[in-house]
Amino acid sequence: MSTLAASSDRADRRVPNQAGDRAVGLWLLSVAVMIFAMAVIGAITRLTESGLSIMEWAPISGTLPPLSHDEWERLFALYKTIPEYQQINRGMSLADFKEIFWWEWIHRLWGRLIGAVFAGGFLILLFRRKISRALTPHLIAMFALGGLQGLVGWYMVASGFAERTDVSQYRLAAHLGLALAIYAYVLWITFGLLAPAPAQSDGARALRTGLRAFAGLLAATILAGALVAGINAGLTYNTFPKMAGEWVPSGYWIREPTWANPFENPAAVQFNHRVLAVLTVITALGLWGWARTRPLAATARRAFDLLALAALGQLGLGIWTLLWVVPVWLGAAHQAGALTLLALTVWALTRLSPTSNTPTPARG
């Protein structure tokens, strides 16, 4: 995401903003909304421990759910061969299996639907000559990243088939990180098409740099949250602000090898996420205060107002989720809050464009 932010000045000049681009912008906005929903569904899939219920990679035939009792039994038999069933869910009934199966199936189906909406919309708009030459490389890159995301998702799921009772937290973080990058990329182009930013004075340049740094901090915080989810670290130390009465958990470095603690030790992983979350909020408030001192357009000021409010709300939601020991609905809401904060960060970046977006007449 920080790479995306760093290329903001160039992107403003590459992507045209014409009245005719409204159709493209609305199409991409629908894709972004679907990605938002996909990430929330993915959070529910993780929180309900449903991710390993489908052990087959079937991009075409997997579109349909099991349509017979024999097919359900076959898939259930496959699930019984993995450590998650043998060590955690042994004795699970077919009815219980169906409950976790449906979340994973919906998650995968939604990914297919995103691909269909993207590909279908692209072809229709291309046929109607609504897609500019400047925009075409971005759309091709988005489609390629979407295909890569499907492969990364399967790579993540496969990590839980052999020796683990869960997916690798590293692969989970990679899967979420790529989803966030695609989401931010789509939003960046969408906002440029639907709401070109007014020109800003050179005084906004330093603020843009600060906002890009904030984007990197936010990305790190969200990825740290993925590690928390990956090793169920949110189910421990359910107090705030201290952890078991300590500001820094005494078991932070208890694991061997030492380097693995920040990634594999629940105490360390949760502590890191807490610290990053607080720093994210402090930085958001600092940027808001800084923006109040700059001669910005009204839309840019409003973007920083919303960013600060969203950061505070997300911190409160995270604390609530922790204190209540991560109920599924709160965990999903916390994921939605992160996506909202990311969207507002991208919006704020587009409001600080150094130059107005000049219409480009060239069409493909």
Residues that constitute the known binding site for heme: 273, 334
Pick out the residues of the known binding site. 273, 334
Structure tokens that stand for 290 in this block: 């800084």
Strand partners, 243: 246
Q: How many helices (H) and strands (E) in the chain?
A: 13, 0
Residue type, 173: A
For residues 117 and 69, what is the distance between their CA atoms, to the nearest angstrom?
A: 32
Using alpha carbons only, give the angle 281, 331, 286 rounded to the nearest 5 degrees: 5
Residue 38 near residue 110 (C-beta atoms within 8 A)? yes
For residues 174 and 271, what is the distance between their CA atoms, to the nearest angstrom?
A: 20
DSSP state of 19: G
Of residues 278, 271, 178, the one with CA closest to residue 223: 178
DSSP state of 198: P
Structure tokens that stand for 119 in this block: 């590909």
